[in-house]
Every structure is written in C-alpha cells, then in structure tokens.
Chain A
C-alpha cells in the first residue's frame, strides 16, 4: 500500500528536526504565556491570544492549522490550564472569565468552543484526561467532563459528563461507551466509529 516505506522510516527518524519550525511558530504566537516544552503550532496556523500571562500550556500541546484561527481568550480574573499533549484543531476557542482546566491528551475538534461564562452566570469548566471533543462541540459554563469521555460532533454539553461516557445531541445525553459497544455488537457492527454512534440514535 505504501510505495516508499523507507521514506516513512526516514521521516520518523527526522521528526525532531521536522518539528522545529512549528515549535518556533508556537513560540512566536504564544509569547508571554507560561509555555511548556515543544508546544507546536502547525504550518500556516494562526492563534488569537488574549490575557497571555494567565494562560498555561503544558509540554507537547499542539495546535492545528486551518481556515479559522484558534483563539485563547482569558479575561483579567480568569485562568486557562492546558494539559500535556492536548491537541486543538482549527477554530477551537477557549474563553475564560474564571477558570478552564483541560487535562492531558485531550483532542479538540474543529470549531469546538469552551467557555466558562455566558451572559448570566460564570462557573469554572473542568475537562479530564484523554477527552475527545468532536467538531463543533459547545461546552457550557460549569460543566465537568470526566476522563476518557467522548463528545460527539455538534453536541452542546449542558450538564456533567461522567468518565468513559459518550455524550451526543443538543442538549447532550450520555451513554456509557461500553453500552454503545454492546449495542453495536448486537447490530452486527464490528468497528466502532463515529458514524455508527450517531446513526444508532438519530
């Protein structure tokens, strides 16, 4: 399938060098934040950052490039904490008035939006480790998302999501990943994928 496997091997060996431009790019766009090591902003990517001194980015966090810039906005009283190896696709936006804490190895889909204040209330948002937010997810203020949770594309999360759950819909409803897998097995669906997940419900 791969016509030139040796090229991939070479590429993997050269990765630390290949990644240097994106690390420099992140360093330029995130100047003034508490920046961990090897934070990356992929080629062509742009960031909109406000309140730099209250934003903390841990090691290996990365930002994808795309048509819409990712925005990290922190108001004077707020703080944003981003864990190790958390990735953001293009157009993701974090807006903090009090606090947003994001765990390790999370994945944020394109145009995902997390904010801890709407017009009426302000409440901290906590996102656990290895959480996957799909494309266009909106997380409302005061929500806590547990470890290993998956939020389906286009969902609006208005209440807490326990660990190892999958949440989908507007407003988002939870379902254990285990139950989902069992339901898929009952319908003869082999590989779990986002498609079957939504198809089973809608």
Chain B
C-alpha cells in the first residue's frame, strides 16, 4: 500500500479508527462513519464507495455488523445494528439505502423504551436498490433483488424480486 493510499484511508476513517478493521484489499472512497462501540467485521475485497455522501456503519454496544467477502456499499448507505446485521458475500447496497434491525421507538406508550430488535440477514448475491429501507426482521434469500425505494421487513425466498412500498415479492419466471 502506497503512502498516498494510506493517507487517503486515514482521512476516510478519521474519527472511526479502532472501531473498524479494514483488510489490505478493502477499497475505501470518501468518509466512513463508525460511531458505535459494537463490532464491525469486514471480509476480503469489500468496496466502500462513499464518494457522494458518507457511509454510516452504526453498531451499538454488543451489536455486530458483518460484511462478508466482496460486498459493495455505495455512498450514503447506512446500517444501524442494535443486535446483528449480516451482509452476505458479493451483495451490493446502492446509494442511500438503509438497514435497521430495531425501530428504536415503541408505536404507543413510552417512546424512550427500546423495542426488541430482530436481526437482518442478507444472504449471498443480494442487490439492494437505491433509497430502499430494510426494517427489522428482513431476511433476504440468496440472489434476491430489491428495487429502488422499497421498504421491506419480511423473509424473501431465494431469487425473488421485491419492489414497491408496500413491498410486492415476485418470483421471476
């Protein structure tokens, strides 16, 4: 790794050092914010492209965010984990997509009380479209494609195509 590449990486991760361990072949462009005290684990060949807006990887204490080999995350994407979020190998998160494993407030009653969190799992080769939101409990099967601006909180079968809000799950014929 050249000195210039090291300097750029230092700039990208300023304020987040010690909370995220990058591999030597991780491609980092722009700012990565890792404000939480949880675990962020990154596999080989991950590409974090935050050229337009910073990427937020927020793992609360005791939580873990796992990015497996070959994951691509585009600019402005945010992942907030209270328990666990797993992104499978070769998945892609497009710009400004959002993954949450907790809704952070109760619908009724005391809004300061944290509700239960439901882990979000993305299996291999998943594509998340731009500006889509994955809510707690989403479990995307292998090769699922999620369209732009989709809001999803369910389990999808492998190879499904999910579009819309409310989400419609289709199997390509």
**A contact residues vs B (CB 8 Å cutoff):** 44, 66-68, 107, 110-111, 132, 135-136, 150, 152-155, 166, 168-170, 177, 180-181, 191-195, 197-199, 201-202
Note all chain B residues with C-beta closer than 8 A to A166. 107
- Do B105 and A132 have beta carbons less than 8 Å apart? yes
The answer for the CA separation of A170 and B150 in the assembled complex, in Å, is 10
The answer for the CA separation of A168 and B151 in the assembled complex, in Å, is 10
Given A194-B115, A198-B151, 10 extra CB contacts under 8 A: A67-B56, A150-B107, A153-B98, A154-B133, A154-B150, A170-B165, A194-B107, A195-B136, A197-B107, A202-B168
Note all chain A residues with C-beta closer than 8 A to B116. 191, 193
Count class of interface residues, chain B: 35 or more
The answer for the CA separation of A153 and B103 in the assembled complex, in Å, is 9
Number of A-B contacts (CB under 8 A): 100
- Do A198 and B135 have beta carbons less than 8 Å apart? yes
- Do A194 and B53 have beta carbons less than 8 Å apart? no
Chain A residue at smallest Cβ distance from B162: A202
- Do B149 and A195 have beta carbons less than 8 Å apart? no
Chain B residue at smallest Cβ distance from A194: B103
- Do B167 and A202 have beta carbons less than 8 Å apart? yes
User: Are A193 and B103 also in contact (CB < 8 A) when A202-B166, A202-B167 are?
Assistant: yes
